[in-house]
Amino acid sequence: QVTLKESGPVLVKPTQTLTLTCTVSGFSLSDTHMGVSWIRQPPGMALEWLAHIFSNDEKSYNASLKSRVTVSKDTSKSQVVLIMTNMDPVDTGTYYCARDIVVGPAIIPLDVWGKGTSVTVSS
């Protein structure tokens, strides 16, 4: 069974750095056709894709957040880490990680999601 689980602080202060961890099971981060994305959702608002890391360690970022976001992985720990700097109250929301699968020329995008972790940015 494939699962993803997000973890990290519930509350961060403005200007601080947020570090979130996504722990996966049921697949390996070294599987050649697997990747993991981070997505966030402010309260009552739409989803926003943040970043992606592929099995070959190739990384992609949302252009509007690229200067603040870093994604990395530790395959031995089955973990993907998202770091977001200079946090602001507008960054408050639920942060999700989800899996992508590449099957030949086809992509199965975000087929399995974690339950999400809630982050509040407040002093």
Does 40 help bind other proteins (rule: CB under 8 A)? no
Does 35 help bind other proteins (rule: CB under 8 A)? yes
Which residue, 16 or 113, has its beta carbon nearer to other proteins? 113
**Region of residue 29 (phi > 0: left; psi between -120 and 50: alpha; otherwise: beta):** alpha
| Among residues 52, 81, 87, 91, the one that binds other proteins under rule CB under 8 A | 52
SS3 80: strand
DSSP state of 88: -
Which residue, 56 or 123, has its beta carbon nearer to other proteins? 56
Cα-based distances in Å from 75 to 57, 63, 64, 65, 114: 10, 26, 28, 25, 18
Residues that bind other proteins (CB under 8 A): 35, 37, 46-49, 52, 54, 60, 62-64, 96, 98, 100, 106-116
